[in-house]
Structure 1
Amino acid sequence: MSTGKLYGLGLGPGDPDLMSVKTHRLLGKAKHVAFFRKKGHTGQARKMVDGLIPTNAIEFPMEYPVTTEIPVTDPRYNEMLSGFYENVSVHLRSLTQTGENVVVLCEGDPFFYGSFMHLYTRLNHLIDVEVVPAITGMSGAWTATGTPITWGDDVLTVLMGTLPEKDLVRHMSDTDALVVMKIGRNFEKVVRALKVVDKYDDAWIIQFATMPNESIFKLSEMTETVTPYFSIIVVHGQGRRP
């Protein structure tokens, strides 16, 4: 019996119109659709494809055992997630071994800070895996500001808000253009670091980029509550131009 293939489908930043033609085609004929979600939630990736997958497709929600309940520095965090990824990998592999193709929905690009990478590293040497790239969330965010993120020889740095404050300051001070992701609970820490390197007044915060509830503010003028996940801070480069 021939084996099936596992597809990591990049869905893009949120707007369905920004999906690739290939992703849309694979969704339209999918028989098995897997997606990550927090327990008790629909899952953002699943919301993004609502109405785009066949009604008879078999869905496999992969529910994280932990998200923000314990800190990432706690040894239990990696232990629980590692076991979770192992278990879902076994299930996905078993489906492909029956000859079935499976698509895994991925917000943004599958190889850019996404959960799919943890499945890929466990399965790509065992079964046929194809990754379909996509527009990243940060690309959707800086485009929403209406200003180019980099010019000429500008260096762009992408940081995670989960980094220690001293590391944020170090990296921020040594770059021209900046993207900060995974803000959430780290918002105040990120703001302090931006102020230390004198980039606070130039920063923008974009929430739910390209989605219907998108919001864009200068960070210094932000008065709304920051969303815990779909928020990105950008500082534009001002480099060489003709």
Structure 2
Amino acid sequence: MRHLVVIAFLLASSHASAQPASPTDSERARAEAQFRQGEAFYKEGLYDQAIAAFRESYRLSGLSELLVNIAQAQRLAGRKQQALDTYKTFLAENPKHRYADEVRRLVAILTKEVEDQEKAAAIEAARQKQATQAAPPPAARPAVVDDRQPAREGGSELLRYSGVAVGVTGLVLTGFGVKFAFDARGHEDALSENDGQWTEDLLDRIDDGERAERNAIVFLSTGAGAVALGAALYYLGLDRGGMATMAVNPTAGGGTVSFGARF
């Protein structure tokens, strides 16, 4: 705060300034007002506003001491590199100023702090880079898609054998039906050739023919149904399905897709 008090005194004593082009009374008054405003901001810890007010005061008055106040506010605001540059500007303009030794001390302190800050940032960046490079990417797991279809319902060896057995039985029954049909036809032919009296033998043949006709109808219809049923059972017993799998395997160059099937 000592520097701010000195600047206030210099602004009030306008004859102390030795600038190539002295500010006018109006500029001097405005510069002092800006300084007072910056001083108030500085005391309240509003360093950004204080810096802006001190800069405006410096522009109007040209008093280089204001650079010290600007640098001090920058340092307290955490902008150490900017404060260091402003302090160096002050020393370049006023190497023999009464504040020069104090400013050089601050420059030495800030220079070390800035260097340490830069080293710490570089070390942290290197550590993060090394950690990123050292961590291997997670290994990709092969994705397996199960595309198996459920087995066809009824597809079994038992059904096929049952179908064959029923079909053969149907053929046998059909054969008996054909045989009874021929018997009935034979009786009918014998009866149609009779021109005389109806003997007991002929009457028996009528009964036999009707019986053979009934048996033919029963055996033929039953045999045909059994053949159809056997064919259906055999068809259902056929296993035309299978199980297929698909595997997706990641590789270094992309990925491969392989298919497999089991029948």
- State TM-score, norm by structure 1: 0.20
- State TM-score, norm by structure 2: 0.19
Structure with bigger strand share is 1
Structure with bigger helix share is 2
**Rg: which structure is higher?**
2
Question: Higher RCO, 1 or 2 (CA under 8 Å, sep at least 6)?
Answer: 1
